[in-house]
Amino acid sequence: MMPRTPLSLLALGLALAAPAQAARSFCCTLDNGTRACGDILPEACRSRSYTEFNEQGNKVRNVEAPLTPAQQAARDVQLKKQREAEQQALEQKRRDSALLATYATEKELDQARDRLVTELERGIQDSKGKLDDAIKEQTKLAKDAEFYRNKPLPADLKVAQRRNQQALEAERNSIENKKKEIEQVAARFEADRKRLRELRTPKQD
């Protein structure tokens, strides 16, 4: 009997290992209740869940069936909602931390609100003064235009009227916007007051 060379021993080892590798199997249950199995994943199992077994016949893992387009779309929506909820929770935590760090008491919160409102009211008074000036200018320009009742208005007078109209609209809009902002400030600080009380009230078990 000839001695075995290292090369022949390697070939023998590969030959012995091949059946062990081929013994791994995949099985799934078909619609009619029968099982389809194979040492590679059967074609019939590619669209459904299946189980992988090792050489000893022990279950290695379960693989879920691929999602249908409708299922994938539903899952995407669910994941998006989950991410949005997580983001909202983080944002709420950040706001809560900022609220606690900014206001030690409700009195400090009220003082901050009053400062903002006072500043906005000052801006309203400033806009009202400018609006009064624009109205006076409008009256003056109207009188100037009377001299040209039956004639074309000079170009510089047309420009002055147009700019005056823009100034009127700008100051009126500014006044309305600041009034709305005062309402928003009041609502925001009231919500902050409520949240501050919730954060400072010990939770009941």
Residues of the chain falling short of pLDDT 50: 1-2, 6-20, 22
In a domain, 148, yes or no: yes
Do residues 171 and 131 lie in contact, with contact meaning Cβ atoms separated by under 8 Å?
yes
Q: Which domain holds residue 53?
A: 25-63
What pLDDT sits at residue 185?
A: 97
Same domain, 82 and 132: no
Contact of 51 with 59, CB cutoff 8 Å: yes
Of 63, 68, 65, nearest to 53 by C-alpha is: 63
For the chain, give the mean pLDDT: 88
Tell whether 37 is covered by a domain: yes
Query: Looking at 39, 63, 87, which one is the last position of a domain?
Result: 63
Q: Please tell me whether residues 108 and 194 are part of one structural domain.
A: yes
Q: Give the pLDDT of residue 71.
A: 86
Q: Are residues 73 and 161 in the same domain?
A: no
Question: What domain count does the chain have?
Answer: 3
Per-residue pLDDT, 116:
97
* Residue 169 located in a structural domain: yes
59 lies in the same domain as 119: no
Residues 126 and 176 in one domain: yes
Residue 51 within a domain: yes
The fraction of the chain above a pLDDT of 70, given in percent, is 88
Residues 89 and 134 reside in one and the same domain: no
H-state helical runs in the chain: 6-22, 69-102, 106-146, 155-200
Q: Are residues 158 and 192 in the same domain?
A: yes
Q: What is the pTM of this model?
A: 0.59
The answer to whether 175 and 124 have CB atoms below 8 angstroms apart is: yes
The answer to whether residue 179 is domain-embedded is yes
Residues 83 and 138 in one domain: no
Residue with tokens 């022949």: 8
- pLDDT at position 149: 86
- Name the residue among 124, 153, 129, 126 with its Cα closest to residue 141: 153
Residues 136 and 155 both lie in one domain: yes
Residue 55 lies in a domain: yes
Whether residues 184 and 196 fall in one domain: yes
Does 161 lie in the same domain as 111? yes
